[in-house]
Amino acid sequence: MLAGNAKGEFHRTDPLKCAELFTIEPASFLPLKNELQILAGHNAPSEVQDKTHPANRTKPTGDVVQFSLLNNTGNFADTAEFRSRSIYGKHFHHAADYPALAAFIALFPHATSMRLLGMGPNGGLHPHKVNSSWRKGRHWYFTARFHLPIMTNPEALILLDGDPFHFQEGRVYFFHNGCIHSAYNGGETNRFHLVWDMLMTQETIDLMFGDDSYPPLERTPSNSREVPVVKSVTMDEYDVLAAKSYYERLRLEKLNIDPHKWGNLYLRSRYLLY
C-alpha cells in the first residue's frame, strides 16, 4: 500500500489512483446525509473563490465552498487547519446538533482533517497537485485522502493523472491526493462530498484497506474495488503547488524556463530523494 501510494505521489508507473472501499449502510447514511444538508443550509462556509483562501490557488470556477468539520475552533468557515497534518487539538464541536455526523467522524481517529466540499453547477477546480508526503530527518511520512459523496450527479467528475472518474453517492473511496487532480460538476444539481485526510499509520492501513467491515461501513470486496474510467481525456496543463512556489521564489520565468517542464523536473527530483 505504501509503495503504491509513493508511485502516485511521485508519478511513477501503475499508481493506485482511486478505489472503492466501503458502502455506508442506508440506515446510517440517510441520517448523515440529512444532517449535512441541514448543516450546509444553516451555516456559512469558506468561499474558495476568496483570494485569501488556501485553496484559491486551484483556480476555482463557479460556486465552490468548504465547511471545516474537524478543527480547534468550531467555526465551519475556519481555514487555519487546511493543510495541518496534526491529529492533536482538533475535534468536531457540534455533536449535539449533528449526532450522526459526530458518530461518523469518530470512526476515523487518525484523521487530520474532515471537510464538506460543495460544488455548484459548472463549478470546478483547475488541475493541480498537493503533496501527500513529507520528509523529516531520514523518514518519509504519508497521508491518504478519502471521499464520501453525499449528493452528486452523473456529470460530477474527478480527474486523477489524466483519467476522469465518477464517485457514487453513499460509498467511501480512496482518492490519491498526490496525483495531479481536478474536479468539475457538469450537472445541473449541486455536488457535495465529505472529504478527509488520514495519517498513513498501520491502523489506517488496516481500517481502510483491509478486508473487514466495520458497521456501518460495509467493505467492498477486493475484486470490486476498481473504479471505472469514465472517458479518456488529455491534460496538458497543471499546477504543482510546491513547484510553483519554488518557481516564483527563484524567478525562473526570467530564465524562460517553462513552468510545466519545471513541475515535471521537481517531481522527478522528489522521487530520487525518496
pLDDT in tens, 212-257: 999 999 999 999 999 999 875 554 555 566 677 788 888 988 999 8
Q: Range with the lowest mean pLDDT among 72-76, 192-196, 248-252?
A: 248-252
β-strand partners of 184? 124, 157
- Going by pLDDT thresholds of 50, 70 and 90, the confidence category of residue 44 is very high
Of 45, 202, 50, 65, nearest in space to 120 by CA: 65
- State the fold for domain 2-236: Jelly Rolls (2.60.120)
Residue 35's contacts (CB-CB under 8 Å, 6 or more residues apart) are 98, 99, 100, 101
Residue percentage of the chain with pLDDT more than 70:
91
Which residue, chain included where needed, has cell 485569501? 52
| pLDDT recorded at residue 9 | 73
Paired sense of beta strands 239-240 and 124-129, if any: parallel
* Each residue's pLDDT tens digit, 136-145: 888 888 889 9
Do 65 and 43 meet the contact criterion of CB atoms below 8 Å apart?
Answer: no
* Each residue's pLDDT tens digit, 98-129: 999 999 999 999 999 999 999 999 999 988 87
* CA–CA–CA angle 129, 160, 130 (5° rounding): 15
pTM: predicted TM-score of the whole model, two decimal places:
0.87
Output 174 or 160, whichever has higher pLDDT: 174
**What distance in Å separates the CA atoms of residue 196 and residue 174, rounded to the nearest whole number?**
10
| pLDDT recorded at residue 261 | 78
Question: Helix, strand, or coil here: 91?
Answer: strand
Looking at the chain, which residues constitute the CATH 2.60.120.330 domain(s)?
A: 2-236
What are the cell numbers at 197?
Answer: 485526510
> Average pLDDT in the 18-24 region?
97
Q: How far is CA 179 from CA 101, 162, 190, 217, 245, in A?
A: 28, 9, 25, 26, 18
- Going by pLDDT thresholds of 50, 70 and 90, the confidence category of residue 3 is confident
- Going by pLDDT thresholds of 50, 70 and 90, the confidence category of residue 13 is low
Output 55 or 191, whichever has higher pLDDT: 191
Do 17 and 163 meet the contact criterion of CB atoms below 8 Å apart?
Answer: yes
